[in-house]
Structure 1
Amino acid sequence: MEWGFVIAGLVVGFVVGLTGVGGGSLMTPILLWFGINPATAVGTDLLYACITKMGGVAVHHKHKQIDWRITKLLALGSVPASLLTVTLLHYIKMDTQAVNSLIKVMLGFALMLTALAILFKPYILKQISRQMPARPEGYIPTKGTIFTGVVLGVIVTLSSIGAGALGTLAIFALYPLLPTARLVGTEIAHAVPLTLVAGLGHASMGNMDYGLLAQLLMGSLPGIWLGSHMTRHVGEQWLRPALAVMMALIGAKLVM
């Protein structure tokens, strides 16, 4: 039993439950720091994120903090894209390290910009309402949401980073009026099928350490339960800055 893995799971699970981001962006570097093989770290982290976020989905659904219409449209694009990416990884020899490096830098800058957008959300929405025609209540950009799911599916399968961070960015861009707590819940719900498919794909290639996975889950399941419950009780004025700070820190770490 490595208590360091259990504690790491607890901390990351709490952060994910509270803000919806930080799973792969935090856990993969932590596993690398512990000396875990990079390919094994990616595969193990994907299934860790899937099982951990299942616990978060139960809590967020109970408190009506998930928009299932958005979740289904994202999954309609991300799950097939993830399956296709895993298949290509099996048969095509590609420099995944170079691809992942590029993805991390781009994602890092995008996260820092999104952190600013979330922090100044009220001001931005005010400007948008002045300059853009009002959309009907309940408007869903179907094609844009499905296409966003496709992009998420490819990036998450390649690097294990982005299921939460990039998903939050995308949902915020497509649905700026969505309350922060509902944004967090929706992102967590969508990450479950995406990380499950990507994780099983990596497991089929032997990139999995089940003993390590079990130790991470011992900490993360209580952590995400606690974080998800706190999301409901933390006001928008506090949750929004917490989410923004988390995304900015992760973005800066990825760029550096």
Structure 2
Amino acid sequence: MNWMLIIIGFFTGYLVGLTGVGGGALISLLLLTLVGMPLNAAVGTALLFAAITKGTAMQVYRGYALVDWTVVGILWMGSLSASIATITWVHTMAKIGEDVSFYKQLIASGILVAVMSMFLQPTIETLSKKKFLNNGPGITGLQILLTILAGAALGILVTLTSVGIGALGLIILIQLFPHRMSPPSLVATNIVHAIPLALFGGVGHTFLGNVDLTALGSLLIGSIPGAIFGALTAVLLPHASLRSTLSATLWIFGLQLWWSVLPSSW
């Protein structure tokens, strides 16, 4: 039993339950830097950690009927098929992951995309006002197409690097459905979408021998109660407070990871 990993798991689980962000990139980065875990094992372990931790948080949100299953289904159309294709490619091209610098560049690029996409929010809002996106509860054909494409891109990136499963997923929902969901519903929908995506990638990496089950067990001892506590906090918070928390988390999380990973990737 590793107490450092248990503590890391608790605080990460709380963050995941509260915001839906932090289960993939944060854990993989900590496993790389603090534990010294091999890169492939860090990615595979982080994906399984994210799947189980988010699954725990989902049980809380499901009781409050906050999940937008229509949007989840559209995202899955792109992300799950892309994840399966990516795992197949990784298995076929066995050399992937041996080039550490290439893998780090993928991680840094994923974080950069997450950070830079935040600057697109005004543009998305402008498109929404011009009726390219729906201002109400319905979903337009353009939203469906963009959601499938965004889900596919997310599936590829998450399966390769474990980055973006929470942060990019949340950004996609905020930008493509700016008026459809409340802040708690955004978090719940993002978490539910991420579970099978992380599970597909994690199981695939398990078959490739890229999961440290001992470290995963210690992380989950902390993350499971943390995720429950975080989800209950999100449900009870006023919507304005949760929206501000989500925005701040995305900025801090994205910038911190970008600056910590990008300089070492070139």
Which secondary structure state, in structure 1, belongs to the residue aligned with residue 24 of structure 2? helix
- Between the aligned residues of both structures, percent identity stands at 35
1:104 aligns with 2:107: yes
In 2 relative to 1, CA 208–106 (structure 1 residues): closer, same or farther, beyond 3 Å? closer
What does 1:55-94 align with in structure 2 at a 5 Å threshold? 55-92=56-93, 93-94=95-96
Distance 1:173 1:106 in 2: 20
**Residue 254 of structure 1, aligned match among 237, 242, 257:** 257
In 2 relative to 1, CA 109–38 (structure 1 residues): closer, same or farther, beyond 3 Å? closer
Q: Is the 8 A contact 1:25 1:250 kept in 2?
A: no
In 2 relative to 1, CA 247–100 (structure 1 residues): closer, same or farther, beyond 3 Å? farther
Distance 1:39 1:239 in 2: 34
* TM-score, length-scaled by structure 1: 0.89
Task: Give the number of equivalent residue pairs.
Answer: 252
In 2 relative to 1, CA 134–250 (structure 1 residues): closer, same or farther, beyond 3 Å? closer
**Residue 147 of structure 2, aligned match among 145, 148, 155:** 145
Partner residue in 1 for 2:212: 209
Partner residue in 2 for 1:11: 11
Counterpart of 2:86, as a letter, is T
Q: Is the 8 A contact 1:24 1:163 kept in 2?
A: yes
Q: Is the 8 A contact 1:108 1:250 kept in 2?
A: no
Q: For 1:168-205, what per-residue CA distance to the aligned partner results, in whole angstroms no more than 9, with x for missing partners? A: 11111110112211111101000100011100100001
Distance 2:110 2:222 in 1: 27
Distance 1:144 1:238 in 2: 29
Which secondary structure state, in structure 1, belongs to the residue aligned with residue 163 of structure 2? coil
Q: List structure 1 segments (4+ residues) > 6 angstroms apart after TM superposition.
A: none
Aligned-residue offset at 1:27: 0.8
Q: Is the 8 A contact 1:107 1:251 kept in 2?
A: no
Which secondary structure state, in structure 2, belongs to the residue aligned with residue 65 of structure 1? coil
Partner residue in 2 for 1:50: 51
In 2 relative to 1, CA 159–69 (structure 1 residues): closer, same or farther, beyond 3 Å? same
Partner residue in 2 for 1:226: 229
In 2 relative to 1, CA 24–90 (structure 1 residues): closer, same or farther, beyond 3 Å? same
What does 1:161-172 align with in structure 2 at a 5 Å threshold? 161-172=163-174
Aligned-residue offset at 1:237: 1.8
Say which is worse superposed, 170-179 or 136-145, in terms of deviation.
Answer: 136-145
Q: CA RMSD in A?
A: 2.3
Q: For 1:33-85, what per-residue CA distance to the aligned partner results, in whole angstroms no more than 9, with x for missing partners? A: 21111111111111111011111111111112210111111112111211111
In 2 relative to 1, CA 49–170 (structure 1 residues): closer, same or farther, beyond 3 Å? same
Distance 1:41 1:57 in 2: 24
Counterpart of 2:191, as a letter, is I
Distance 1:153 1:133 in 2: 25
In 2 relative to 1, CA 97–167 (structure 1 residues): closer, same or farther, beyond 3 Å? farther
Distance 1:207 1:133 in 2: 43
**Residue 182 of structure 1, aligned match among 176, 180, 185:** 185
Distance 1:104 1:198 in 2: 15
Q: Which has the higher contact order (CA 8 A, sep 6+)?
A: 1
Structure 2: gaps of 5 or more residues: 260-266
Distance 2:132 2:201 in 1: 39
1:200 aligns with 2:200: no
Distance 2:84 2:36 in 1: 28
Q: For 1:184-235, what per-residue CA distance to the aligned partner results, in whole angstroms no more than 9, with x for missing partners? A: 1101000100011100100001001111111111100100001001111111
In 2 relative to 1, CA 84–131 (structure 1 residues): closer, same or farther, beyond 3 Å? closer
Counterpart of 1:138, as a letter, is G
Counterpart of 1:112, as a letter, is V
* TM-score, length-scaled by structure 2: 0.86
